[in-house]
């Protein structure tokens, strides 16, 4: 693997501290969290103490004010250890930026400091049972009544849904206006009429709480509107490149981790009296994957650099998300094959990585949606 130049010495120092934290506070407990369907709530507070949550938040708000590479390090270190339950990336890379970039000074002061300490866990509620990637097709509505919005609707597949203390809800404040009628509301857990449904049972990401959310005549102060009414779709489009880059970063961390696990395993596993690492098929399979991973790593690292410089556009981020997650699917599938029957056993990390990887081509915009975005530029 060629050296990575995207990170500097201070980034690697942070990586070391994150790794030690995860080894001590997460790795020993993750099997139990998978059985529980969610992580221990206390891990959020411990992560906050170390500065893992929202590191890019400005210092005046209690953050470290560092660049986005610190966020990617947290994601990489979690994923390479198979810590699928930690919703830190959703919290730091997706939810917090919506508040920072679009919230009023009052909302920022109310929520951000506690988001950094782990006192508040966030979620963002976009997907609905009948919409999927079609954000313009959402049915959840918010009607202004005096100084409050009355929120009605439902959401599904919401990461951090069970543990969330505040949820950013994508809703329509003007159903007749299409994309121009979409707004973002911050809704506190415990608000009358806001109910959390079941913790959904998934084929992967077993330790990550993923929920249905229901809103019935929920009264939300109009001060909890993020930005301007009707500008929600614009805000969503502005933040999606970072979300898709985060997914690509996670995909590459998974690819590299699974490849190394497989290289180690085939040196030990024997068939016909000798290690399967000596077979040409094994060497060719892993050599091909290694080459693809190296090439994709260079591209994703370049996207990280572009994003840090404020130059990552929607199409390039979509290319990274599409290409990295499709590669991840091939890597985990072909590597699992080399484990034989053991690769199908949940106790082996490759089996968990296989199950966890499948959703990468779905959330954050499906692979098909990524192709639409890329295709529009090609044929514009």
Which 3 state secondary structure label does DSSP give 139? coil
Query: DSSP label at 84?
Result: T
Distance CA 112, CA 120 (A): 8
Query: How many CB atoms within 10 Å of residue 67?
Result: 16
Q: What's 334's DSSP letter? A: H
Residues catalogued as catalytic: 243
Question: Burial code of 195-207, b = ≥16 C-beta within 10 A, e = fewer?
Answer: ebeebbebebbbb
- DSSP output for 187-208: EETT-TTEEEEEE---SS-TTS
Alpha helices in the chain (DSSP H): 9-25, 30-36, 42-50, 69-80, 88-89, 96-102, 105-117, 232-268, 280-308, 314-339, 349-357, 367-378
Neighbouring CB atoms inside 10 A of 3's CB total 5
Rounded CA separation 299/85 (Å): 27
Report helix, strand or coil for 182: strand
């Amino acid at each position: 693997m060629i050296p990575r130049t995207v990170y500097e010495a201070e980034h690697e120092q942070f990586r070391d501290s994150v790794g030690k934290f995860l080894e001590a506070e997460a790795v020993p407990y993750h099997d139990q969290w998978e059985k529980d369907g969610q992580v221990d709530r206390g891990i959020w507070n411990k992560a906050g103490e170390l500065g893992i949550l929202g590191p890019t938040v400005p210092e005046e708000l209690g953050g470290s004010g560092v660049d986005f590479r610190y966020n990617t390090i947290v994601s990489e270190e979690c994923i390479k250890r198979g810590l699928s339950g930690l919703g830190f990336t959703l919290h730091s890379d997706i939810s917090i930026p919506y508040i920072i970039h679009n919230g009023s000074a009052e909302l920022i002061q109310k929520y951000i400091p506690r988001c950094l300490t782990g006192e508040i866990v966030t979620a963002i509620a976009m997907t609905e049972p009948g919409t999927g990637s079609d954000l313009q097709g959402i049915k959840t509505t918010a009607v202004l009544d005096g100084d409050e919005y009355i929120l009605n609707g439902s959401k599904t597949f919401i990461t951090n849904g069970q543990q969330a203390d505040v949820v950013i809800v994508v809703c329509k404040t003007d159903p007749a206006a299409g994309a121009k009628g979409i707004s973002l509301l911050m809704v506190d857990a415990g608000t009358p009429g806001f109910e959390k449904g079941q913790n959904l049972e998934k084929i992967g990401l077993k330790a990550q709480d993923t929920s249905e959310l229901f809103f019935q005549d929920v009264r939300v102060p109009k001060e909890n509107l993020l930005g301007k009414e009707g500008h929600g779709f614009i805000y969503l489009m502005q933040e999606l490149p970072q979300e898709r880059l985060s997914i690509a970063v996670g995909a590459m961390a998974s690819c590299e981790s699974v490849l190394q696990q497989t290289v180690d395993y085939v040196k030990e596993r024997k068939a016909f009296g000798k290690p399967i690492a000596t077979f040409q098929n094994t060497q060719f399979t892993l050599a091909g994957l290694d080459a693809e991973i190296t090439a994709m790593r260079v591209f994703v690292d370049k996207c990280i650099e572009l994003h840090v410089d404020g130059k990552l556009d929607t199409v390039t981020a979509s290319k990274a998300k599409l290409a990295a997650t499709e590669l991840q699917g091939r890597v985990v599938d072909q590597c699992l094959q080399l484990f034989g029957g053991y690769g199908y056993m949940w106790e082996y990390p490759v089996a968990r990585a296989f199950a966890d990887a499948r959703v990468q081509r779905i959330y954050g915009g499906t692979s098909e949606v990524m192709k639409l975005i890329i295709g529009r530029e090609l044929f514009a």
